[in-house]
Amino acid sequence: MDAISIGLLGLGTVGSGVVKIVENHQDKLMHQIGCPVRINKILVKNIEKERDVHVDPALLTDSPDDILENPDINIIIEVMGGVEETRKYLLRAVRNKKHVVTANKDLMALYGPELLAEATRNKCDLFYEASVAGGIPILRGLVDGLASDRITKMMGIVNGTTNFILTKMSKSGSPYEEALAQAQQLGYAESDPTADVEGLDAARKMAILATLGFSMNIDLDDVSCEGITHITEEDIDYSKQLGYTMKLIGIADRVGEKVEVSVQPALLNETHPLAAVNDEYNAVYVYGEAVGETMFYGPGAGSLPTATAIVSDLVGVMKNMRLHINGRSAGAPQYEKNLKNEDEIFAKHFLRLHVKDEIGVFATITTLFAQHSISFEKILQLPLAEKGHAEIVLVTHRASLKNFHTILQQLRDNELVLEIKSTYRVEGDDKK
Ligand code: NAP
Ligand code: HSE
């Protein structure tokens, strides 16, 4: 059988990994699909650039047409990143009957349904395993492995950069900027790391996970999102003292037919399996009604781990080609989107505030919470260095987000409260 011919869009961190795996694992690929795999052309921005990986310079091009319009190319691997231009390339690719494998969560979170529909119309596969949690086969885990179950909750550490930064800050006391620079150097961060540290990268991945896990079209705008840039050393210290670890957590939760999807830094009970996920590692905790607790763990970023997911998708496309069943795997979602309101989202909350150290302040705060039927699980008051000021730290029992936000507003309006220093969701105390 003739070789399968690949067009690669991008030869950066992930593209270089793809080239290495295709070269180094050729035997295994041949065994699985019965023919050699050849990279035919590689699109880059700058042909003259020094590369980490050796490729024949004749393979490089800066013209997308050399790949998108090339009749010899069967499959396109997109690892160039970007959204608008890339969307046009991939639409052209499937219209030209080329199967697509992509690692691009920015693109899939925004235009996934459109691209998948166009691929299906053209009997092409469009696989995107590498777009969520790098080397962890979580999308296949959800779609195939848990196909028979009803998933009710997913909690994910799905951004390697922020997990790396938070691990360095809490375990080695590294300053934020230093930890971020290290994550960039190691190739975990996006070219502009704002999307990592502001939680947007994780939000994109959670939109993809929730869409597949709940079989509902969840848009990026449906995911509430908060990053890690405001986390302080004090917050990390308090979380440790209270038996928690600070993590950027994506949460997708379903109660009945209603769902919520969010990304935020949270205090995670240190006995929860996700609390042991450190450095650039990712994990997705999935709770299914029948299976109970499962967790998928592994490297969430980096050249070879991400490339592994891409080349595995490539094998999937090639197996489908052999069976002549390409373009049949992306089914339409089963359910209409049905999002929870704020008064249907329940969680425990951590709150740290500075108050005037006066008689009655403690009572005022506890009364305020009681009026909204929120009770405390933990509360402590400590004097601050500045005379007449005190710090109050508390963890609530489960309360609706609506009630908690109302209380925050009333605390801000109260003259005894000097400043609300921080609030975090508290997770992992109970199963599910
Ligand atoms: P990268 O290192 O910045 O590489 C991007 C590559 O694409 C470069 O080779 C660049 O060419 C080329 N490129 C970019 N824009 C182009 C354009 N307009 N025209 C032609 N070529 C263009 O990025 P990366 O880290 O490999 O990430 C690639 C994709 O994988 C992104 O979607 C990212 O979100 C996703 N991803 C990355 C990781 C990771 O760990 N890095 C993990 C999972 C998913 P030059 O080399 O000439 O500049
Ligand atoms: N910047 C991303 C991360 C790369 O840190 O997780 C993997 O998607």
pLDDT tens by residue, 95-106:
999 999 999 999
Q: Quick one: which atom of ligand 1 is closest to the CA of 86?
A: 18
337 annotated active-site: no
**Are residues 265 and 153 part of one domain?**
yes
pLDDT tens by residue, 191-244:
889 999 999 999 999 999 999 999 999 999 999 999 999 999 999 999 999 999
What pLDDT does residue 60 have? 98
Report the predicted TM-score, pTM, of the whole model to 2 decimal places: 0.95
More confident residue, 184 or 381: 184
> Residue 394 is part of a domain; what is its CATH number?
3.30.70.260
Q: Whose CA is nearest to atom 14 of ligand 1?
A: 80
**Are residues 247 and 205 part of one domain?**
yes
User: Comparing C-alpha atoms, which of 69, 1, 10 is closest to residue 35?
Assistant: 1
**Are residues 206 and 71 part of one domain?**
no
What average pLDDT is seen over the chain? 94
Q: Whose CA is nearest to atom 43 of ligand 1?
A: 134
**Are residues 34 and 84 part of one domain?**
yes
Residue 332 forms part of a structural domain? no
Residue to substitute in 180, 190, 263 for testing ligand 2 pocket (most ligand atoms within 8 angstroms of CB): 190
Determine whether 332 is exposed, middle or buried from the number of CB atoms within 10 Å of its CB (0-12, 13-18, 19+).
exposed
Pocket flag, ligand 2, residue 228 (CB < 6 Å): no
What pLDDT does residue 431 have? 62
**Are residues 265 and 196 part of one domain?**
yes
Mean pLDDT for 115-141 is 96
Q: Quick one: which atom of ligand 1 is closest to the CA of 78?
A: 29
Beta-bridge mates of residue 244: 269
The boundaries of the domain holding residue 251 are 143-298
Residue 35 forms part of a structural domain? yes
Which residue, of 298, 332, 351, is where some domain finishes?
298
Pocket flag, ligand 2, residue 190 (CB < 6 Å): yes
CA of 199 to the centre of ligand 2 (A): 11
- Asked whether residue 67 carries a pLDDT value surpassing 80, the answer given is yes
User: Per DSSP, which regions of 346-409 are E strands?
Assistant: 346-356, 376-383, 389-396, 399-400
What percent of the chain is predicted at pLDDT more than 70? Answer: 99
CA of 12 to the centre of ligand 1 (A): 5
pLDDT tens by residue, 151-174:
999 999 999 999 999 999 999 999
> Residue 244 is part of a domain; what is its CATH number?
3.30.360.10
Pocket flag, ligand 2, residue 189 (CB < 6 Å): yes
User: Comparing C-alpha atoms, which of 212, 242, 208, 238 is closest to residue 223?
Assistant: 208
Residue 337 forms part of a structural domain? no
Spatial separation of the C-alpha atoms in residues 131 and 101, rounded to whole Å: 10
Per the structure, the count of domains in the chain is 3
Mean pLDDT for 1-8 is 89
- Asked whether residue 432 carries a pLDDT value surpassing 60, the answer given is no
Place 1 in a pLDDT band, splitting at 50, 70 and 90: low
What pLDDT does residue 302 have? 86
What pLDDT does residue 22 have? 96
- Asked whether residue 181 carries a pLDDT value surpassing 90, the answer given is yes
